[in-house]
Amino acid sequence: MAFRKLGVNEALAKAIEDLKFEAPTEIQEKSIPLVIEGKDVIAGSKTGSGKTLAFAAGIMQKVVPGQGVQALVMTPTRELAEQVAKNISTFSKYQPMNVVIVYGGVSINPQIDSIPDADIVVGTPGRLLDHLERGTLKLNKIRILVLDEADRMLDMGFIEDVERIIRECPQDRQTLLYSATIPPDIEQLTKKYMQTPIKVSAGTQVDPSQLTQVYYTVPDNQKFSLLVHLLKQERGGLVMVFANSRRTVDFIENNLRKNGIEAEAMHGGLSQAKRSKTLDKFHDGKTYALICTDVAARGLDIPGVTHVYNYDIPKESKQYIHRIGRTARVDNQGKAINLLGQRDFENFDRVHRDYRLNIEKLELPVVERVRVEPYARDEGFGDRRGGQGDRRGGFGGGRGRDDRSRGDRPRGSFGGDRGGQRGSFRPSEPRQSSGESHSTPQQGGHRPPRFGSA
Ligand code: ADP
Ligand code: MG
């Protein structure tokens, strides 16, 4: 078996056999031997390329059950923490280890109770710091530290938190950094905290043989109708529809349902419980279309997604790459469909320029106009109409919407927001992250008319 040749231990090899993975992915092939050797590794490869298994191989090599928290995995979001923990549990089926998940927005007490028995902790930076501060988590036995989706962690403004956590770990640990992209600020981090790291990367960001990319140019007032048309026409597996703002996500969800399409919204404004439930339903195939912002969907691995729609094109071209990475996961075919309204061209051009992707233009089909209800009301909406319309909807709200420029970074100081006394709103996570806004409509001045056609 090809995985054994990479040096994975017997327990993991057996678990992989059960999963029927035929061959290692490129990043697994390149990084697992180094990880097993105990090297510090910086690994870059696109989402969906099997990075979790690669670092899990190292964790399984190092961790001896029952001897305290020996492995720590940091992830940018709660969903990812859940997903990584689930994966590690699957991989360690024949070498059972206690994996404890730690993130904010939920009660801290159950976490406090379960940490003493943990072999592995997977968590988001804010809540991890909380535990360190309370003394409910000790990192002095850490033998292997993993930064997963490191680029995103930095994007979300977690750098200081991440550094603080790293400094709590013993120096003679192994450090692994897995990421879709390796931007310069990550290099800084690696210089400071990794020991003669070896860098490996795999493949291109997008595999054109597996992923078809197309776009339509469509008048703004027909965009939603086109989406409905395509969702009905292009039946495949599951579908993800991306929009740049929470408002647009809610708008799409609401109107798809009114048009008889099973849809659920997924964005940072929803409670953790709601998000988990939505994800489970989507995983189980009970929801056909998941409508989401970038933040909510980042890194999620949902098998069976055959179509990704960009209801609007993200401002940052790397977000485009992350979005389309939700489909055509390992060994599957997928299709990315872009709906370009008037305001999307600038962003679309940027994507083309940055990644030179081959995205085919399709003729606009004849679409039946469907009725839509307007965006939900919220304060500040009216006076923004049109004003910033030519900048991207979700970003033009006048205030810095991108959390890197905002004050509400995850943590101010070590003693910042203590779990118990914080509000109930995801206290240890950034309130809003790049790409999400809930106060500016995506269509700027072109708000769909009340019950008109759009
Ligand atoms: P990444 O972290 O790179 O985004 P994941 O680790 O989430 O990717 O893996 C994506 C999916 O691919 C998961 O469902 C995982 O179980 C599956 N997978 C991982 N390695 C393999 C492999 N060698 N062959 C087939 N599927 C794999
Ligand atoms: Mg991953």
Does some domain include residue 43?
yes
Sequence-separated (6 or more) residues with CB below 8 Å from residue 378: 247, 438, 439
DSSP 377: P
* 254 and 180 assigned to the same domain: no
Sequence-separated (6 or more) residues with CB below 8 Å from residue 294: 242, 244, 314, 319, 322, 323, 433, 434, 435, 436
Does some domain include residue 147?
yes
- What is the reported pTM? 0.60
* 57 and 20 assigned to the same domain: yes
- Dihedral, CA of residue 79, residue 146, residue 317 and residue 263, to nearest 10: -10
* 336 and 359 assigned to the same domain: yes
What pLDDT is attached to residue 379? 40
* Ligand 1 binding pocket includes 327 (Cβ within 6 Å): no
Indicate if the alpha-carbon torsion angle 28, 42, 51, 174 is positive or negative. Answer: positive
* Ligand 1 binding pocket includes 330 (Cβ within 6 Å): yes
What pLDDT is attached to residue 429? 34
Residue 92 maps to which CATH number?
A: 3.40.50.300
Does some domain include residue 117?
yes
Domain finish residue from 202, 221, 249: 202
What pLDDT is attached to residue 123? 97
Range of the domain at 90: 2-202
- Reported as a pLDDT band with limits 50, 70 and 90, residue 333 is confident
Atom of ligand 1 nearest to the CA of 178: 2
Min mean pLDDT across 44-53, 314-323, 340-349, 415-424 is at: 415-424
* 106 and 225 assigned to the same domain: no
Whether 434 and 296 have beta carbons less than 8 Å apart is answered as: no
What pLDDT is attached to residue 206? 53
Does some domain include residue 437?
no
Domain finish residue from 202, 219, 244: 202
* Ligand 1 binding pocket includes 52 (Cβ within 6 Å): yes
Does some domain include residue 390?
no
Answer whether residue 417 shows pLDDT above 50.
no
Average pLDDT over every residue of 102-118: 96
Does some domain include residue 441?
no
Query: How do residues 210-223 score in pLDDT, each as one tens digit?
Result: 788 999 999 999 99
- Number of domains within the chain: 2
Sequence-separated (6 or more) residues with CB below 8 Å from residue 429: 77, 78, 103, 104, 105, 124, 126, 268, 410
* 63 and 18 assigned to the same domain: yes
* Ligand 1 binding pocket includes 329 (Cβ within 6 Å): yes
Average pLDDT of every residue of the chain: 81
* 87 and 120 assigned to the same domain: yes
Answer whether residue 121 shows pLDDT above 90.
yes
* Ligand 1 binding pocket includes 149 (Cβ within 6 Å): no
Average pLDDT over every residue of 438-452: 37
Write the Ramachandran bin of 337: left for phi over 0, alpha for psi from -120 to 50, otherwise beta.
Answer: beta
Min mean pLDDT across 159-163, 261-265, 443-447 is at: 443-447
Q: What percent of the chain has pLDDT over 70?
A: 80
Does some domain include residue 323?
yes
Query: How do residues 294-309 score in pLDDT, each as one tens digit?
Result: 877 776 777 788 999 9
What pLDDT is attached to residue 377? 60
330, 331, 332: residue to mutate for ligand 1 pocket, most atoms within 8 A of CB: 330
More confident residue, 388 or 269: 269
What pLDDT is attached to residue 453? 35
Helix then strand then coil, % of the chain, to nearest 5 = 40, 15, 45
Query: How do residues 357-416 score in pLDDT, each as one tens digit?
Result: 788 999 999 999 998 988 876 543 333 333 332 233 333 233 333 323 333 334 433 333
- In total, the chain counts a number of residues equal to 454
* 112 and 89 assigned to the same domain: yes
Sequence-separated (6 or more) residues with CB below 8 Å from residue 191: none
How far, in Å, CA of 27 to CA of 275, rounded? 30
Domain finish residue from 202, 230, 249: 202
* 124 and 66 assigned to the same domain: yes
* Ligand 1 binding pocket includes 49 (Cβ within 6 Å): yes
* 303 and 190 assigned to the same domain: no
How far, in Å, CA of 130 to CA of 108, rounded? 9
Whether 59 and 176 have beta carbons less than 8 Å apart is answered as: no
Answer whether residue 172 shows pLDDT above 60.
yes
* 164 and 259 assigned to the same domain: no
- Reported as a pLDDT band with limits 50, 70 and 90, residue 192 is very high
More confident residue, 399 or 100: 100
What pLDDT is attached to residue 319? 86
* Ligand 1 binding pocket includes 25 (Cβ within 6 Å): yes
Sequence-separated (6 or more) residues with CB below 8 Å from residue 215: 337, 338, 339, 340, 348, 359, 360, 361, 362
* 239 and 128 assigned to the same domain: no
Atom of ligand 1 nearest to the CA of 21: 24
Does some domain include residue 350?
yes
Atom of ligand 1 nearest to the CA of 27: 3
Nearest Cα residue to atom 24 of ligand 1: 21
* 225 and 177 assigned to the same domain: no
What pLDDT is attached to residue 369? 92
